[in-house]
Amino acid sequence: MRIAIIGSGMAGLSCAARLSQAGLAPSVFDKGRGLGGRMATRRADAGRQFDHGAQVITGEDAAFRRLLDDAKTRGFVREWDIGDGTVKAVGTPGMTAFAKYLAQGLDLHQQTEITSVTLTDVGWDLTADQPVGTYDRVICTAPAPQTSTLAGHALTQPLDHVSYAPSLTLMVALNRPLDAPITQSNPTDALAWIAHDSAKPGRAAQNCWVVQASSDWSVSHLELGKDEIATLMLDLFLGHHGLDATDVAYATAHRWRYALVTNPLRQSFVTSPDGTLYAGGDWCLGPRIEHAWQSGTAIAEDILRSA
């Protein structure tokens, strides 16, 4: 069976890994350079790195927890002691490591943006900047608004009511030590999350911090330029810690337009009427990596049942 998966985030990779485990050979396409989608690690000059998307991996589902345990055993995930007696799982040496763990042995095509998905007499034609191929099954795991644009015409139900909160994120490296907790979570403040990213296990000895604006602040500043966002967030961060501009070695911002799902579809995936095109991702079930994994895995199981 010829299978194409759009997206190498957690949903796409978990689907591909399960299919591959069952002896199928899906091809995975992603427009980005790196694996992992929103489970992202940004590398900057001077050996700096920042997990600027998902911060930690949590799991309630027993099968997902087993997967996390296996990834820990193999060194792709480690426990991060955040200093208040709480321990969180993180990819090592960056959050993308968890994606790399799932991606082992898969047929991956990065920097390939799929621009159309069309049903013909012989299957689904995928196009990027040129024809990509014809497939018996296609799985689209882009965020819901992007899935709607790409494949909405072929799905049995609209995805309009799925909603997300955006997240504006500042990545900052300091050139002097900062005496602050490893993580600070203040959901009602403009800077809702501040984390000493370099304090995660397996990172280089750097002084890199990741700062996420609250969802209200992100909504009200979403359309500013990235430099303006960086300047405003940096001012707030410096003020919060009594630092000044000379303490900053590096700063940049990232805009996540579709960061955290606020109103999911509440079913594991959606298909075309004939069941050969699937769409899924975190937006089906909830706002976390685990939800993306559940959706991707459910799609794979459905394909295997009908194969």
Ligand X SMILES: Cc1cc2nc3c(=O)[nH]c(=O)nc-3n(C[C@H](O)[C@H](O)[C@H](O)COP(=O)(O)OP(=O)(O)OC[C@H]3O[C@@H](n4cnc5c(N)ncnc54)[C@H](O)[C@@H]3O)c2cc1C
In eight-state DSSP terms, residue 36 is: B
**What count of Cα atoms within 13 Å lies in the side-chain half-sphere of residue 230?**
13
Q: Considering the rule CB under 6 A, would residue 55 count as an interface residue with ligand X?
A: yes
Instruction: Return the beta strands (E) in the chain as ranges.
Output: 3-6, 27-29, 42-43, 49-50, 77-81, 87-91, 107-109, 116-120, 123-127, 131-135, 137-140, 163-174, 183-185, 191-196, 208-213, 248-263, 270-271, 277-279
Q: Considering the rule CB under 6 A, would residue 265 count as an interface residue with ligand X?
A: no
CB neighbour list of residue 281: distance below 8 Å, 6 or more residues apart = 7, 9, 11, 141, 142, 143, 144, 147, 292, 295, 296
Write out the binding residues for ligand X, residues 118-147 only, by CB under 6 A.
141-143, 146
Output 175 or 263, the one with its CB closest to ligand X: 263
Output 182 or 247, the one with its CB closest to ligand X: 182
Closest residue by Cα to residue 304 from 103, 15, 5: 15
Q: Considering the rule CB under 6 A, would residue 10 count as an interface residue with ligand X?
A: yes
- What mask of x and - would describe binding to ligand X in positions 211 to 250, judged by CB under 6 A? -x--------------------------------------
Q: Considering the rule CB under 6 A, would residue 94 count as an interface residue with ligand X?
A: no
Number of residues that bind ligand X (CB under 6 A): 40
Output 153 or 176, the one with its CB closest to ligand X: 153
Output 84 or 179, the one with its CB closest to ligand X: 84
Output 157 or 175, the one with its CB closest to ligand X: 157
Rule CB under 6 A: which residues touch ligand X? Answer: 6-12, 29-32, 37-39, 53-58, 113-114, 141-143, 146, 150, 167, 169, 212, 256, 259-260, 281-282, 287-290, 292
